[in-house]
A and B are shown apart, each in its own frame.
Chain A
Amino acid sequence: MDRQKKSSDDATIPEEFSTLLREDRESIDAATLSKLNRARQTALAEMDQRSGFSRPAFWVPAGAAALLAVFVIGLAPNLMNQTEPAAPTAEAAKVPDLEMMLADESLDLMEELDFYLWLEDEQTGQRLPDNRATLRS
Chain B
Amino acid sequence: MSETARGVATEVDVTVRVNGSTRRLRLDSRVTLLDALRDRLELTGTKKGCDQGACGACTVLADGKRVLSCLTLAAQCDGREVMTIEGLSRDGGLHPVQEAFIRHDGLQCGFCTPGQIMSAVALLAEGRAGSDEEIREFMSGNICRCGAYPNIIAAIREAAVRDAGV
A and B found bound together: no
Chain A residues packing against B (C-beta within 8 Å): none
Chain B residues packing against A (C-beta within 8 Å): none
